[in-house]
Structure 1
Amino acid sequence: MPPVVILIRHAQALHNKGINQCQTLANQLEADFPHATEGCRIVVSPLSRTLQTVQHSLGWLLDRGVPVVARAEWQEDTANPCDVGADRSELEKDWPGYDFSQLDPVYPQKIGLYGPEEKTIRERAAVARKWLAEQTDKCLVVVTHSGFLNRVVQGPRYRNVEYRTYKIERNDSGEVELVELAEQSKDIPGREE
């Protein structure tokens, strides 16, 4: 059975507002998913804001041994300097305990599947959905970016630290789709876009 997927948009930068957003998110997630440690894994875009959001909002999962894996397909969808990440060696030095072994060797270059063209971004979103469907975890908590989330779920824009919960299904064409479990999705109060 495919995992339940919790998609989270990162918090604002690490200043008071971003830290407060992360604390609010942590409290909400821990209350809503107290057993999320069993058979779960955290998947994160290898960019600073997403890594920081994991550190400051999912510490309760990290403390319980939930592993973190960085995947290049979850990075932001532009080639703007703020959306281009660091080399794997830097990431491993700065984020010990996170698994960067699954990063595509071309990362952080914005080429091929990671290019900023709309067609390419949609292809990458399909690859990300397919990857989710192939996982055997009970749940996957994914921390990523608003622009890319829009392509993955083909739905409304996420705001900072908003999360939505999905089940994985295949449509009539056999393509992977994420179907929102609305009762488990939250728009965190007190945060902005």
Structure 2
Amino acid sequence: MRRTLQTATIGLDWLIKKGIKVIPDANWQENADKPCDTGSAVEVLEKEFPNFDFSTVDPSYPDKTTNLASNPYAFTQKAILARGQTCLEELYSRPEKVIAVVTHSGFLRTAVCNRMFFNADWRVFTFDEQAMAEAEKEDQKKFILKESAKTEKNGGGMGRSDVGVFGIEKGDFPPEVEDDIKDAQAKGPAKAEELDEANKQKPSV
């Protein structure tokens, strides 16, 4: 969260000075559980960014490694795709017509919009109501974005990002462990804790 708040403070300072509210949100954090992709404690961030309100940040932040089967921030494909939909649903329900989101390229590519982002580049999206309606016909409640023709063709607002649609690639996520943990939980809490701890020791792919 530190990196995104630094970017917002620099790149969107003209809006912040006008009183536009900044809302720190744990859901928009990066995918991996490596130290460089794991956030700092809220108590630390509050001291570094005293002008921002962190009262709505999930108290479990920045934990990504405990209770992997139920942790919404776990470094698993299932959790991250679900988190992407949570983010989009929250945006869809907001009253503002224009919202600037400052987040991480890996999370955006794999779980939000399937686009590449060069450092500090930006893109413009709206919700694809037609695609969402088609998904709903198949009993799939799914929030889908549609990029503006200008930033899509240009490769981002600065023209520095790759053009095209980029989905999940091999190596983006470690092997799924949720089913293994659930099986262990059925055998008893001691076994489940043992497996959860073992998975925390596995190096990220």
So what's the TM-score if we normalise by structure 1?
A: 0.69
Q: 1:162 to 1:190 in 2, by over 3 A?
A: closer
In structure 1, what is the equivalent of residue 144 of structure 2?
177
SS for the counterpart of 2:45 is helix
Query: 1:99, 1:126 → 2: CA distance?
Result: 24
1:131 pairs with one of 90, 98, 108: 90
Structure with greater Cα Rg: 2
Tell me which amino acid in the other structure corresponds to 2:41.
Answer: D
In structure 2, what is the equivalent of residue 16 of structure 1?
none
Q: Tell me how far 1:50 sits from its aligned partner.
A: 0.9
* Residue-by-residue CA offset, 1:120-142 (whole Å, 9 max, x unaligned): 11111111111111111121100
2:114 is the alignment partner of 1:155: yes
1:59 pairs with one of 13, 30, 36: 13
Over the aligned positions, Cα root-mean-square deviation in angstroms equals 2.0
Q: 1:191 to 1:125 in 2, by over 3 A?
A: closer
- Residue ranges of structure 1 left out of the alignment (5+ in a row): 1-46
Tell me which amino acid in the other structure corresponds to 2:98.
Answer: C
- Residue ranges of structure 2 left out of the alignment (5+ in a row): 66-70, 163-205
Higher relative contact order (CA 8 A, sep 6+): 1
Q: 1:169 to 1:102 in 2, by over 3 A?
A: farther
How many residues of Structure 1 are paired with residues of Structure 2 in the alignment? Answer: 146
* Residue-by-residue CA offset, 1:61-88 (whole Å, 9 max, x unaligned): 1111111010001000000001111111
1:99 pairs with one of 49, 53, 67: 53
Q: Which has the larger strand fraction?
A: 1
Q: 1:182 to 1:96 in 2, by over 3 A?
A: farther
Q: Which has the larger helix fraction?
A: 2
2:81 is the alignment partner of 1:81: no
Between stretches 179-188 and 47-56, larger displacement belongs to: 179-188
